[in-house]
Amino acid sequence: MNELMYFILVVVVFAVQYFLSTRNNLLWGALIPIVFIAGMSWFYLENKVSNNIGFLIIALVGLALLIEEWNRGRRMLHKKRVKEIEKMKTQDITIKK
């Protein structure tokens, strides 16, 4: 696979991670980080890694980025809920008058 395909794959994975993180169930956002950890563990256990330190750095940075994307999605969901509640309160106030 060339570099462009790797880049596209990473962008798609982060887009899916963000989408799953904005779902109501908290565990959907944990799906990709768990698969990532399992895949990286499998690579390591099968001795498919030539540089242990580089592999560890890539694994930790990748996991940190996935968790940050999860956190960003959860914050967006929270903001969306707060906005919806404010909208409902505003409509409730206008109906009572």
Q: What is the DSSP letter of 97?
A: -
Q: Which of 64, 63, 79, 73 is nearest to 18 (CA)?
A: 73
The pTM for the full model equals 0.80
Cβ within 8 Å of residue 32, ≥6 positions away: 13, 16, 17, 20, 66
**Looking at residue 54, what is its pLDDT?**
87
The answer to whether 69 and 21 are in contact (CB under 8 A) is: yes
The answer to whether 73 and 17 are in contact (CB under 8 A) is: yes
- Report pLDDT digits (tens) over 12-56: 999 999 999 999 888 898 999 999 999 999 988 888 888 889 889
Q: Which of 58, 83, 71, 82 is nearest to 20 (CA)?
A: 71
Domain coordinates in residue numbering, the chain: 3-96
